[in-house]
Structure 1
Amino acid sequence: MVEPYRGWRLFFDGAVNYKVFGIATVLISKNVRHYPMATKLKFRCTNNMAEYEAYILGLRMALDMDINELLVIENFDLLIDQVERKWATKNDKILPYVNLAQRVCKKFRKIEFQHTLRAQNEFADALATIASMIQHPESSHIDSLEISLKEEHVYCSHVEVEPDGKPWYNDIKTYLEKQEYPEGITSGRKKTIRRMANGFFLNKEVLYKQTLDLGLLRCMDAIEATKL
């Protein structure tokens, strides 16, 4: 696992498959906000070339964002060794990348390097793979990619007005409060209400949904949800 770092961090990766090439970089701020960028390459390149393309893309992103101190976290030791002049190269395809990377690095006030396992660079790796495989017509525009985290099923956040004007949890609340069921329902529906009620907690007039970690989520009707 990457040790905690108080400044900006840069992850990058390249993806080279049969006739498809992509790169990605992810900048992470001091407050752990992620800034990803993925690019599809329209020219043929080797794995090493793709890594350099991704690395320099990340450096330029950082400079454009006025970042002057950066920790570069990488899983490709050879690239960093070449940039830091620990390992010389005479490869005509790689040497221009090395020279450019060294010039760009000098624009930072402070730049450090840290090795990580490839498995811990999975975000940049996944973005690079997507960029390499996606079809990108010249006439189309692709908006920025937004990734969110969901901790509940989609129906848990869907609140709408019930046809009878009562909140969605009315049957559960009535059962917990009075041990009563709606009129005319089947025995199967009664069993469902009892089973669902086991996951709720009633405190006076307020109903809560119990989570797996014993937390409580307040249940709201459509009007309360709209206000929030």
Structure 2
Amino acid sequence: MTIIDAPSDTTWTMYFDGASNTRGRGIGIVLVSPRDEKIPISINLEFECTNNMAEYKARIVGLEATLSLEVQDLDVYGDSLLIICQMNGKCLTKEDRLISYHTYLTSQMKSFHNINFTYISRLRNRFADALATLASMVDIPIGVKVCPLVIKRHLILAHVYMVQIAAGCPDGKP
């Protein structure tokens, strides 16, 4: 996935989240370039896992994506206090199912010049959370390609917009 050329002396930002619920499992990642370009990633996980496993998987996919962009400096934000503490070495990874994820992440971290992990509230991680929840709930058949997600902002009400368009009509009537 080469979307943006990343100069090695700039810091990127990554937000991540994982979701495991009764409908399914998914991960959401938002990569933010130094020029404030956002790259959303949403992946449905087709295997049974806990919420913590989904959180780890989100971080792994996010780090792999940034490495493919040749990012050297990365600030990582997530709303999983346990995983942030484990990655910062403040908590031990005791659960057998998480040890392999933690080991792999630790090896990935060596590829970065500078990498920081910071806990943020769920409120500040809403975009990654929404992507993870969406991925966990949407059934996309294998082999079906989904076009990139485009999110636009409308700053005026629809009827006001239509009146403005109509004002450009020759007769001045909507």
For this structure pair, what is the TM-score category when the shorter chain's length is used for normalisation? 0.7 to 0.9
Unaligned runs of 5+ in 2: 1-9
Q: Which has the higher contact order (CA 8 A, sep 6+)?
A: 2
Q: 1:10-62, CA deviations, whole angstroms, 9 ceiling, x for partnerless residues?
A: 10001111150000100111121111100000000001100000011111111
Alignment of 1:72-91 (within 5 A): 72-91=76-95
Alignment of 1:1-228 (within 5 A): 7-154=11-158, 156=161, 159=165, 167-168=168-169, 171=172
8 Å CA contact 1:27–1:36 kept in 2: the answer is: yes
Counterparts in 2 of 1:167 and 1:84: CA distance versus 1, 3 Å: closer
Cα offset for 1:167? 4.0
8 Å CA contact 1:52–1:79 kept in 2: the answer is: yes
Q: 1:155-194, CA deviations, whole angstroms, 9 ceiling, x for partnerless residues?
A: 627847xxxxx9437659xxxxxxxxxxxxxxxxxxxxxx
Aligned partner of 1:187 in structure 2 is none
RMSD: 2.4
Q: Computing the radius of gyration over CA atoms, which structure comes out larger, 1 or 2?
A: 1
Mapped to 1, the partners of 2:94 and 2:71 lie a distance apart of: 32
One-letter amino acid matched to 1:43 = F
Unaligned runs of 5+ in 1: 1-5, 161-165, 173-228
Equivalent position SS for 2:84: helix
Aligned residues: 163
8 Å CA contact 1:14–1:125 kept in 2: the answer is: yes
Mapped to 2, the partners of 1:13 and 1:167 lie a distance apart of: 46
8 Å CA contact 2:88–2:117 kept in 1: the answer is: no
